[in-house]
Amino acid sequence: AVLTGHLAPQLSGLERAGALAGSAILARRSTVATSQEGGAVVPDTVQVEYRARTGIHSRADYERMYRHSVDDPAGFWGDIAAGFVWERRWAPDHFSYNLDLQSGRVSTRIFAGGRTNIAFNCLDRHVEAGRGSQPCFLWEGNDVGQERKMTYGEVLQEVCRVANWLKSVGVRKGDAVAIYLPLICELPIAMLACTRLGAVHSVVFAGFSADSLAQRCIDCRSRVIITASGGMRGSKRVELKQIVDAAAKVAAEKGHKIHKALVVEHPAAPRGKCPWARGRDVWYGDAVPAQQATCQVEWVDAEDPLFLLYTSGSTGNPKGVVHSTGGYMVGAATTAKYCFDLQPGDVYWCTADCGWITGHTYLAYGPLLNAATNVIYEGVPLHPQPDRMWQIVEKCKVRTLYTAPTLIRALEAQGDTWVKKHDRSSLRVLGSVGEPINPRAWRWLFEVVGERRCPVIDTWWQTETGTVMISPLPGAWPESPGSATLPFFGVVPVLVNDKGKELHGATEGILCIKQTWPAAIRTIKGDHKRFEQTYFSTFKGLYFTGDGCRRDDRGYYTITGRVDDVINVSGHRVGTAEVEAALAAHGACVEAAVVGVEHKIKGQGIYAYVALAQDEEPSEATRKSLIAAVRQHIGAFAAPDVIHWAPGLPKTRSGKIMRRILRKIAVNADSELGDVSTLADPSVVQAIISMRVTQL
């Protein structure tokens, strides 16, 4: 193959210019610290280092690069893409965004005409550049002392073996492969093995139930699944294989057969103790080591699908968000590099699971594209003691820690002593994602964890955006606790009112995005119409994020939370409609309505109103069995925190549930219910209030 750009210098023109400018600034190093709102001050050394590495010295530098990125996206991203390996270069007019306002038809094409392979760029490229013996994964098991190190060379070989096995069972370019694994090295390896073949992976978070897994396999028609015999989360065993068996049964009943399951033997469930379907199930340990350790990559078109990831919205079943190859690759690498100041060989730890988008972009692809050394931790943060995370930071000398507000709050609640017990001097950058970070958690992270040395990078983005959209850059401009600050290169945020009118200056509104960006969602699996309707029909000509947002007079963006019926539980998106459907499927329930309420640790908790069938008792047993139904249909993370028995639900005369009222009742704000006269039956409100239960 002709590898255009293969021998191209690692630095693009843009970066070279930056590096030079950076050294100039080093020479006139200033000692003035940047003032942080609320008294937090990031020492100047952080800025100096970042400037030297990226060439961004000030907000003005950023503004210049930003302008270039939005005025000439084809040129801007083309320059950066030249640093990757392409089998064929993209066409000159490769960047197109068609948004037909009349018909609502939307299509994004970036690096069109180019051919590449992400697995090659994540692994082979670095091995060929002499990084074969650099650690790629530093894995920490659930229990202290369980560890595994894999170099880039070893990961490449293992990826090839798994890819060869996939080929041997008939997986070809474009086929969907389901992955249902705990956070072990085989998880990113399985993803990369699919990618190497041009197969499309669909990772399902190992906390999802059999029903959810089946639904996802059916929707994307995956006939091969990669899983494990079991798993451990803290002191709890996770019966992964049993869930896979149950999912395969559900799928079969609906006419979809899972042909092959590749099963990693997990110490939690050794052979002999694991249920087995002969002919279908294959032990990873039997099949994979026997495969050849090399495997030719399948070069794919930049716009060929890379992966599918299901996510919840306000209505209907979870949507299979489709990401394409070229744009996602360049976007993932560039955001990881600039937002986290990531350089080859840096020890980097993203605490997300690969089952969510954060794990895709910032555990698997982004850091590997940057040749980082990736910490992977299988277990839960407080196991066996509340200092587990800090122990890992100390042991692995983690430079960048990317985590979530819910975790930060849970760790803060354990007290500072656990943190201070461990050396954290390796830390340079702290990241946050998943939900709005409250200023208190922000300050704790900044002051206690990072000892006021590390910038806090509060990154706003979504499954659909693929990569970070709004985020500070380390030390490039003053931060502000709780604010994601400024848009990343190529991202054009706009705030609109509920009529879709664009608002200017310091204001508050609904966050939308103009123009497109490299890692943007390309479609919803099997339903392009739904894609156009969900994201582009609310406000004509704009991508609708579903988030509310404030912009201040510095131009900083602060996300205020979802404006639709999506609840954010511990950073996981839960659709109210899905929880309601799971409750309603229970025989005791006639009707259910679910709202999000503030929760001290989880950010939001799930508050469910349930109307019982006539002969049902509002008993503790019924409550438990309703919660069990949600666990079974979706997964444990979606279990309601509160079940509030309701004689009926407040509905308009047209039958629409008035969630606004239910949200107020859930937080005891009875005096703020507003006008209830438009309800079909206003008396239902008092009846619900009289049945109030104890709060979270």
Catalytic residues: 564
The three-class DSSP label of residue 666 is helix
Stretch that binds ligand 6R9, among 164-172, 217-225, 427-435, 496-504 (CB under 6 A): 427-435
Quick one: which of 120, 208, 460, 607 contacts ligand 6R9 (CB under 6 A)? 460
Residue 422 CA: distances (Å) to CA of 43, 141, 230, 416: 21, 19, 31, 11
Q: One symbol per residue from 349 to 378: x for binding ligand 6R9 (CB under 6 A), - otherwise; what is it?
A: -------xxx--------------------
Quick one: which of 109, 525, 562, 659 contacts ligand 6R9 (CB under 6 A)? 562
Quick one: which of 18, 546, 575, 640 contacts ligand 6R9 (CB under 6 A)? 546
Structure tokens that stand for 15 in this block? 């970066």
Residue type, 369: L
Cβ proximity to ligand 6R9, 195 vs 312, nearer residue:
312
Report strand pairing: 41-42 vs 106-109: unpaired
Task: Report if residue 319 touches ligand 6R9, rule: CB under 6 A.
Answer: no
Whose tokens are 């069995």? That residue is 625
DSSP 263-275: EEPBTTB-TTSS-
Percent of the chain that is helix, strand, coil (3-state, to 5)? 35, 25, 40
Q: Which are the contacts of 246, defined by CB distance < 8 A and separation ≥ 6?
A: 210, 214
Phi, psi at residue 495, to the nearest 5°? -110, 135
Q: Which are the contacts of 165, defined by CB distance < 8 A and separation ≥ 6?
A: 193, 262, 287, 288, 291
Q: Which of residues 568-597 bind ligand 6R9 (CB under 6 A)?
A: 568, 571, 573
Least separation in angstroms between residue 319's CB and ligand 6R9 is 11
Quick one: which of 73, 434, 518, 596 contacts ligand 6R9 (CB under 6 A)? 434
Stretch that binds ligand 6R9, among 56-64, 133-141, 170-178, 540-548 (CB under 6 A): 540-548
Phi, psi at residue 12, to the nearest 5°? -80, 170
Using CA atoms, how far apart are residues 144 and 159, in angstroms rounded to an integer?
27
Least separation in angstroms between residue 285's CB and ligand 6R9 is 33
DSSP 490-541: T-EEEEE-TT--EE-SSEEEEEEEES--TT---EETT-HHHHHHHHHTTTTT
Task: Report if residue 463 touches ligand 6R9, rule: CB under 6 A.
Answer: yes
Quick one: which of 459, 480, 576, 604 contacts ligand 6R9 (CB under 6 A)? 459
Using CA atoms, how far apart are residues 466 and 470, in angstroms rounded to an integer?
12
Task: Report if residue 335 touches ligand 6R9, rule: CB under 6 A.
Answer: no
Stretch that binds ligand 6R9, among 141-149, 237-245, 343-351, 432-440 (CB under 6 A): 432-440
Phi, psi at residue 248, to the nearest 5°? -60, -35
Task: Report if residue 484 touches ligand 6R9, rule: CB under 6 A.
Answer: yes
Cβ proximity to ligand 6R9, 559 vs 658, nearer residue:
559
Stretch that binds ligand 6R9, among 63-71, 273-281, 446-454, 545-553 (CB under 6 A): 545-553
Least separation in angstroms between residue 446's CB and ligand 6R9 is 15
Least separation in angstroms between residue 470's CB and ligand 6R9 is 8
Task: Report if residue 491 touches ligand 6R9, rule: CB under 6 A.
Answer: no
Task: Report if residue 433 touches ligand 6R9, rule: CB under 6 A.
Answer: yes
Cβ proximity to ligand 6R9, 198 vs 366, nearer residue:
366
Cβ proximity to ligand 6R9, 111 vs 362, nearer residue:
362
What is the number of other CB atoms lying within 10 angstroms of the CB of residue 318? 20
Interacting residues with ligand 6R9 (CB under 6 A): 311, 356-358, 433-436, 458-463, 484, 545-547, 559, 562, 568, 571, 573
